[in-house]
Amino acid sequence: MEKTSTDTLPLTMISSEKQETVCIFGTGDFGRSLGLKMLQCGYSIVFGSRNPGMSSLLPSGAEVLSYSEAAQKSDIIILTVHREHYDFLTHLTEVLNGKILVDVSNNLKINQYLESNAEYLAQLLPGAHVVKAFNTISAWALQSGALDASRQVFVCGNDRKAKQRVMDIVRTLGLTPLDKGSLMAAKEIENYPLQLFPMWKFPFCLSAVLCVFFFFYCVIRDVVYPYVYERKDNTFRLAISIPNHIFPNTALTLLALVYLPGVLAAILQLYRGTKYRRFPDWLDHWMLCRKQLGLVALGFAFLHVLYTLVIPIRYYVRWLMNNRTVVQAIAKKENPFIISTAWLSDSYLALGILGFFLFVLLGITSLPSVSNMVNWREFRFVQSKLGYLTLILCTAHTLVYGGRRFLDPSTLKWYLPSAYVIALIIPCTLLVVKFILILPCIDKPLTRIRQGWERNPKFLESALNGKTDL
Amino acid sequence: MEKTSTDTLPLTMISSEKQETVCIFGTGDFGRSLGLKMLQCGYSIVFGSRNPGMSSLLPSGAEVLSYSEAAQKSDIIILTVHREHYDFLTHLTEVLNGKILVDVSNNLKINQYLESNAEYLAQLLPGAHVVKAFNTISAWALQSGALDASRQVFVCGNDRKAKQRVMDIVRTLGLTPLDKGSLMAAKEIENYPLQLFPMWKFPFCLSAVLCVFFFFYCVIRDVVYPYVYERKDNTFRLAISIPNHIFPNTALTLLALVYLPGVLAAILQLYRGTKYRRFPDWLDHWMLCRKQLGLVALGFAFLHVLYTLVIPIRYYVRWLMNNRTVVQAIAKKENPFIISTAWLSDSYLALGILGFFLFVLLGITSLPSVSNMVNWREFRFVQSKLGYLTLILCTAHTLVYGGRRFLDPSTLKWYLPSAYVIALIIPCTLLVVKFILILPCIDKPLTRIRQGWERNPKFLESALNGKTDL
Amino acid sequence: MEKTSTDTLPLTMISSEKQETVCIFGTGDFGRSLGLKMLQCGYSIVFGSRNPGMSSLLPSGAEVLSYSEAAQKSDIIILTVHREHYDFLTHLTEVLNGKILVDVSNNLKINQYLESNAEYLAQLLPGAHVVKAFNTISAWALQSGALDASRQVFVCGNDRKAKQRVMDIVRTLGLTPLDKGSLMAAKEIENYPLQLFPMWKFPFCLSAVLCVFFFFYCVIRDVVYPYVYERKDNTFRLAISIPNHIFPNTALTLLALVYLPGVLAAILQLYRGTKYRRFPDWLDHWMLCRKQLGLVALGFAFLHVLYTLVIPIRYYVRWLMNNRTVVQAIAKKENPFIISTAWLSDSYLALGILGFFLFVLLGITSLPSVSNMVNWREFRFVQSKLGYLTLILCTAHTLVYGGRRFLDPSTLKWYLPSAYVIALIIPCTLLVVKFILILPCIDKPLTRIRQGWERNPKFLESALNGKTDL
């Protein structure tokens, strides 16, 4: 639907009785693109420029006047000028009085200035109604109509009517306005387009560290060791076998690290006997990026699944199977069927599949549109109950995968156990601690603390003291 | 973007000229958490309390006064008190006159009271503008900022300006207000946080029943029967082989049950000759949870795919292949290649893959954000045409899987056919009936009925009679 | 939550003090369904009809009057009448003056009339406040409550208060109003429900052409050729082997065609020396449906993955492996292990998995709710950087799959190379051109052009000339 708007609207425009005039200050790339788009959507555009005679490349149909002349033509002025040049507006204080001033500016760095550009503008021109808008939309996107990315335009401002007028323009351009409240939100809105996945940095770094660790660990055990002792060239394992050790182990560790901060927070609350003291900053930050950690873990789990399913197609595996059978056939030896091995093999596969299935479910419920459909009770049920079940299944999958070999001294190479043994340390510890925490004798005081109860109500005392002082 | 709000906003606050004062009645956990959050977002907070001197643990910066003193300080009062204690407000009728009263209360059970808490409040204080809000947000989420779950705050109220004021506060706190209309919506809003997947109960129970049925069916055929007749220990099949019978059969049956109510409704409409009579309640409820039924079926299909793809990695299968080849090699017997078997094997796999692919497409289009992008015509095309195609492909997949063995008496064990034969009953019947329904001679009257035509226009007659009586 | 609204609201209604009266003009199917729904939600309904005595099937509780009588009962009139019959309203000009008139009409074809129905209505009755709404909701959906499809009701109108009143009604019915601005948006809103995936037509046709081409190409090489020369019946390959050639080759070509228009646009901009001239229409349209092209490619890639993973379960493959081993065992010949083959086999699989993984990531970020969470910088990072990485990985996957056989004359059949060689042409060319475009000596002028710089600033000159003329 949105795509056709640029095509159909101009037609409708012709029959439209009165055209609203909007003034744009500044004739740079963004000003021109916005002007063109607004012309196409039926607005009448007046550009305000320092040198109206020198302004070039303006969309045909738009008028170019000096700043003060242009401002008189409309009660909405869109300011497409850098913050550094806002000073010139002080000369226009009278003309701009009572008008709507739309600040579209962005900065080059996050928190570049103490106050946001829009608030600075409002201080410069206390008589104008400053509205922040359009800064999240790129000139290129406006021009090409290729708005596959967010069509959301964050709008904020202190004057409700001014904000409504700007939101109507946003809608007419085929974009979605999002009211972010008063001008206090401007700083956040200005920082927004400069961010590059801020919540994902910690999860990515952490998983990179884990991957590198497991990579070297596996290379030492699977490539260097056989080369040193048997002169065997195992380098081809770098393509599939070793990644298929790195990915599941990283995924399992990351999944455990999703639930670790919750357990640490519970221990801290139990120790402090109150929930009203802030957690240390690192714990706070860790708790806020658990969703991202979990999604990165899901990515690794997905890769592990694909790498595993591809096993029987690999040349190496086919050669191995074929050779083993040929050798057996030549020796005329049949293989006995060992039921316990069948049990182990089937159960570790089944546990892995069920764990992955629940993991995918968790991932789907963390999609914004799905989690918005879900109330708090349902969300906690899914993310906490189902999350722990996933962790239990994945840990069990790894334990059963180890099976009889688990901690068997013969699997040690240079005293190093298999990588999955390392990966099991955090999840197993976590599950044991969590199990202790849900024992009734520990769960009860914790629940009371979380409902606001205090073991050492110091605040209460001080509050009372304060009152008796009065 | 949202995550940083708590960090950046307090800074902005300092330079903010005037702070809005909001009054909170009640100093319980939710009141305190909300107060702290609002303080952080730049509001000035006054708590109203029964015993202002006894109130403890309040966020620093907030004032505590008696109810009537606090109410005078602000024209917005947030009421964080249980419904049972609303009586005390009747003593404050005068102070609260014309003020905005925000009801945040929740109940312990769905439909606990005849009228919603907010409507009860509006009856108690007819002079105040009651707005329902914030009841879907937990105190813990407010405090921790861990609002990965829904940030939506449902707001309703009879006074538009009061509602707008509250929605502005919601936005300033970094949450998303959702206008649900007048106070009549309060009951729904109060019931919302108490629900635990109400639409999923029927699909879950149904699939649980189907799973249990197929489980025992398969255990009898694949574990008990071989044990009784051949003393063979097949218990290891419980891990993968038997689930891989349960899951596809449950998925196919559930998928057919998604489309069955539509067919039943069509038959009922044809029989009654009108669309203006309500369906029986069970049919209504069934029709409303078709989407959930379909998604559960997709879950089972997904598990079936993973269980199937894992087959060649299983120890049992590898042992079987290896042993068969060794035996053949020892006997020096080559296997002939049977083209018809290759055809059957490849086509059941291809049908299954295509069916699963369409099923995943259906699942993706049922994501709220995707189905919102789609108009009614497109939605019906996908869910009806593509849905039936999926059912046809999955049924064909099962039929071809059966192939030559299908209904072969030698596959009967204790007169029981394979599980997939049972699972085919509903889909095959459904497809036959559907095929009959789309025959032109039946489709035409059905379409007319659905466009509002009546075979026996009794209502019309009665309406006319009524008129002639006048 | 939404589902329960119809059940709970009627109860609440009873205690509701005053009922708003809404008038519905027209007693057809949609009028009746809407009236019933509004009655259930607590409104009082008056139907306006040509022959009030003849109107049938109306929901009980609703009143039926003549048009002018009905219109006097309410200040909101919902018009459920076809555009062709709007003339009768001119007789009611006086009664309708100042009232809110809701146009719910749809047309039979896109752009059927020059102006939208709502704008036509506004011209007929300049005194009424026309609001467009409800046209995207079907009568059936209203009645059954089965609103799994979009619950969005697009609303537009020139009078803000009238629009707000209508949006309140929409909310009370449990639907989501979406303000689309002034009545100029009505044409777009009226076209919307008639569309059937307009942006998907080109991608679908293109992929159909590619599929058919690769199908015949593969049939000639893999079925006809062996039949002609060896009288071998390879038809069973039609089920899996040949689709598994068609799908990956189509996917790779489509993926390259997603990025080709961007490269063409860059070349065009470099050649023209400006970004201010429109691209040819075909290029514009191609650029606008890149997302859809990419998603179709992802679908084919997904099918390719499933068809590949299923390989070891196929009867043909099992027979082949078994036979090969038996023959070897009888000949007592062991297979040597070739490390370079292991490397090739493992790396093409690993490249394919990584490429598919990134492809899935791209697909997920193109979900509306996810791309709305992402700012412009992040979106460009994902869609451009990650997109090219995906293309590189998939191209490398295909190149390494070819491996030693690539362009080997012995693989030619009737001078035709394998299908993947054909599929590599576009991606390889594209990657080479893209590589040239990101060389600093070419990237710099391109970046300047995209920031608004012009090589031949003709517009500037003409603008200056224009000014000196004054």
**Average pLDDT of the residues in B333-341:** 87
Residue A149 has pLDDT above 60, yes or no: no
DSSP B199-244: GGHHHHHHHHHHHHHHHHHHHIIIIIHHHHHH----GGGGTTTTHH
Distance to chain B for A324, nearest Cα, Å? 8
Taking contacts as CB-CB distances below 8 angstroms, the residues of chain B near A379 are: 148-150
Among the partner residues C114, C345, C379, nearest to A314 by beta-carbon distance: C345
**Average pLDDT of the residues in B396-406:** 87
- Residue B456's pLDDT band, with cuts at 50, 70 and 90, is low
Element (H, E) at B65: strand B63-66
Task: Compute the distance between CA of residue B401 and CA of residue B396 in angstroms, rounded to an integer.
Answer: 8
Residue C462 has pLDDT above 80, yes or no: no
Tokens of A412: 């040690």
B331 touches chain A (CB under 8 A): no
Residue B465 has pLDDT above 60, yes or no: no
Burial category of A437 from C-beta neighbours within 10 Å (exposed 0-12, middle 13-18, buried 19 and up):
middle
A361 touches chain B (CB under 8 A): yes
At what angle are helices A419-437 and A201-219 packed, to 10 degrees? 130
Are residues C311 and A307, on separate chains, in Cβ contact within 8 Å?
A: no
Taking contacts as CB-CB distances below 8 angstroms, the residues of chain B near A335 are: 319, 322-323, 326
List pLDDT tens digits, range C121-156: 999 888 899 999 988 887 767 766 555 556 788 898
Are residues C370 and A367, on separate chains, in Cβ contact within 8 Å?
A: yes
The percent of residues in chain A predicted with pLDDT above 90, rounded, is: 35
Residue C329 has pLDDT above 90, yes or no: no
**Average pLDDT of the residues in B136-159:** 73
Residue A455 has pLDDT above 80, yes or no: no
Residue C5 has pLDDT above 70, yes or no: no
Residue B8 has pLDDT above 80, yes or no: no
Identify the pLDDT of residue A171: 79
As beta bridge partners, residue A21 has A44
A190 touches chain B (CB under 8 A): no
Identify the pLDDT of residue A109: 83
Are residues A303 and C366, on separate chains, in Cβ contact within 8 Å?
A: no
What residue has token string 């057996």?
A: A328
**Average pLDDT of the residues in A226-255:** 92
Q: Write down the ipTM of this complex.
A: 0.84
- Residue C16, Ramachandran bin (φ over 0: left; ψ between -120 and 50: alpha; else beta): beta
Label the pairing between strands A152-157 and B44-49.
unpaired
C339 touches chain A (CB under 8 A): yes
**Average pLDDT of the residues in B286-311:** 93
B369 touches chain C (CB under 8 A): yes
A280 touches chain B (CB under 8 A): no
How many helices, marked H, and strands, marked E, lie in chain A? 21, 8
Taking contacts as CB-CB distances below 8 angstroms, the residues of chain A near C339 are: 233, 235-236
Task: Answer for the pair A311, A243: CB distance below 8 angstroms, yes or no.
Answer: no
Among the partner residues B42, B148, B241, nearest to A184 by beta-carbon distance: B42
Task: Compute the distance between CA of residue C430 and CA of residue C428 in angstroms, rounded to an integer.
Answer: 5
Q: Where are the beta strands (DSSP E) in C32-163?
A: 44-49, 63-66, 76-79, 100-103, 129-132, 152-157
Residue C12 has pLDDT above 80, yes or no: no
C150 touches chain B (CB under 8 A): yes
CB pairs under 8 A between B and C: 205
Are residues B146 and A333, on separate chains, in Cβ contact within 8 Å?
A: no
Of A51-65, B63-77, C396-410, the range with the lowest mean pLDDT is: A51-65
C218 closest CA partner among C418, C422, C400, C424: C418
Task: Compute the distance between CA of residue A107 and CA of residue C58 in angstroms, rounded to an integer.
Answer: 61
Among the partner residues A119, A377, A460, nearest to B196 by beta-carbon distance: A377
Identify the pLDDT of residue C346: 92
A319 closest CA partner among C345, B293, B228: C345
C57, C318, C367: best to mutate for the B interface, most B CBs within 10 A: C57
Residue A335 has pLDDT above 90, yes or no: no
**Average pLDDT of the residues in C155-171:** 86
CA C214 to chain centre: 25
- Residue B464's pLDDT band, with cuts at 50, 70 and 90, is very low
CA B56 to chain centre: 41
CA distances for B204 relative to B142, B197, B291, C388, C409, angstroms: 32, 10, 12, 42, 58
- Residue B11's pLDDT band, with cuts at 50, 70 and 90, is very low
A240 touches chain B (CB under 8 A): no
Identify the pLDDT of residue B216: 95
Identify the pLDDT of residue A231: 87
Identify the pLDDT of residue B457: 57
Identify the pLDDT of residue B169: 86
Are residues C55 and B192, on separate chains, in Cβ contact within 8 Å?
A: no
What b/e string do you get for B135-151 counting C-beta neighbours within 10 Å, with b at 16 or more? bbbbbbbbbbbbbbbbb
Which residues does C129 contact at the CB level (< 8 Å), separation at least 6?
C98, C99, C100, C101, C157, C158, C159, C161, C162
Identify the pLDDT of residue A15: 36
DSSP A65-132: EEHHHHHHT-SEEEE-S-GGGGGGGGGGHHHHTT-EEEE----SSTT-SSS-HHHHHHHH-TTSEEEE
Are residues C299 and B361, on separate chains, in Cβ contact within 8 Å?
A: yes
Are residues C302 and B360, on separate chains, in Cβ contact within 8 Å?
A: yes
Please count the other Cβ atoms lying within 10 Å of the Cβ belonging to residue C79: 26
Residue B197 has pLDDT above 80, yes or no: yes
B44 touches chain A (CB under 8 A): no
Task: Answer for the pair B43, B22: CB distance below 8 angstroms, yes or no.
Answer: yes
- Residue A329's pLDDT band, with cuts at 50, 70 and 90, is confident
Which of C:2-21 have CB within 8 Å of B?
3-5, 8-9, 11-13, 15-16
Task: Answer for the pair A367, B371: CB distance below 8 angstroms, yes or no.
Answer: no
Identify the pLDDT of residue A205: 94
List pLDDT tens digits, range C271-327: 888 776 778 888 888 888 888 999 999 999 999 999 999 999 999 999 998 988 888
- Which is more confident, C432 or B198? C432
Altogether, the residues listed in chain A come to a count of 470
Identify the pLDDT of residue C192: 85
Are residues C314 and B346, on separate chains, in Cβ contact within 8 Å?
A: yes
Tokens of A352: 């892995």
Among the partner residues C136, C172, C194, nearest to B181 by beta-carbon distance: C172
Residue C3 has pLDDT above 70, yes or no: no
Distance to chain A for C98, nearest Cα, Å? 19
A351 closest CA partner among C278, B59, B238, B215: B238
CA distances for A256 relative to A449, B149, C14, angstroms: 25, 20, 53
C125 touches chain B (CB under 8 A): no
A365 touches chain B (CB under 8 A): no
3-state SS, A416-447, equals ECCHHHHHHHHHHHHHHHHHHHCCHHHHHHHH
Element (H, E) at A319: helix A315-331
Are residues B144 and A287, on separate chains, in Cβ contact within 8 Å?
A: yes
Which of C:248-277 have CB within 8 Å of A?
275-276
- Residue B352's pLDDT band, with cuts at 50, 70 and 90, is very high
Identify the pLDDT of residue A367: 85
Task: Answer for the pair A234, A226: CB distance below 8 angstroms, yes or no.
Answer: yes
Please count the other Cβ atoms lying within 10 Å of the Cβ belonging to residue C97: 11
B2, B11, B12: best to mutate for the A interface, most A CBs within 10 A: B12
Residue C470 has pLDDT above 70, yes or no: no
Element (H, E) at A24: strand A21-25
Identify the pLDDT of residue B260: 94
Residue A268 has pLDDT above 80, yes or no: yes
Q: Rounded mean pLDDT of chain B? A: 84
Taking contacts as CB-CB distances below 8 angstroms, the residues of chain B near C15 are: 114-115, 119
Q: What amino acid occupies position C2?
A: E
Q: Which residue of C has its CA nearest to A190?
A: C375
- Which is more confident, C442 or C405? C442
**Average pLDDT of the residues in A301-308:** 96
CA A263 to chain centre: 23
List pLDDT tens digits, range C387-427: 999 999 999 999 999 888 777 778 888 888 888 999 999 99
**Average pLDDT of the residues in B268-273:** 87
Identify the pLDDT of residue A253: 96
Identify the pLDDT of residue A54: 67
Are residues A346 and B164, on separate chains, in Cβ contact within 8 Å?
A: no
Tokens of A288: 């806020």
Identify the pLDDT of residue B468: 31
- Residue A216's pLDDT band, with cuts at 50, 70 and 90, is very high
Please count the other Cβ atoms lying within 10 Å of the Cβ belonging to residue B420: 19
Q: Rounded mean pLDDT of chain A? A: 84
Are residues C172 and B187, on separate chains, in Cβ contact within 8 Å?
A: no
C312 touches chain A (CB under 8 A): yes
Q: Which residue of B has its CA nearest to A353?
A: B306
A308 touches chain B (CB under 8 A): yes
Range from A18-27, B85-94, C456-465 that averages highest in pLDDT: B85-94
The pTM (predicted TM-score) of the whole model is 0.86
**Any long-range contacts for B108-114 (C-beta under 8 Å, 24+ apart)?**
B108/B194, B109/B194, B110/B191, B110/B194, B110/B195, B111/B187, B111/B191, B111/C8, B113/B83, B114/C15
**Average pLDDT of the residues in B285-293:** 88
Burial category of C444 from C-beta neighbours within 10 Å (exposed 0-12, middle 13-18, buried 19 and up):
exposed
Altogether, the residues listed in chain B come to a count of 470
Of B92-106, B182-196, B379-393, the range with the lowest mean pLDDT is: B182-196
First CA to last CA across chain A, in angstroms?
66
**Average pLDDT of the residues in A421-442:** 93
Identify the pLDDT of residue B392: 96
CA C135 to chain centre: 20
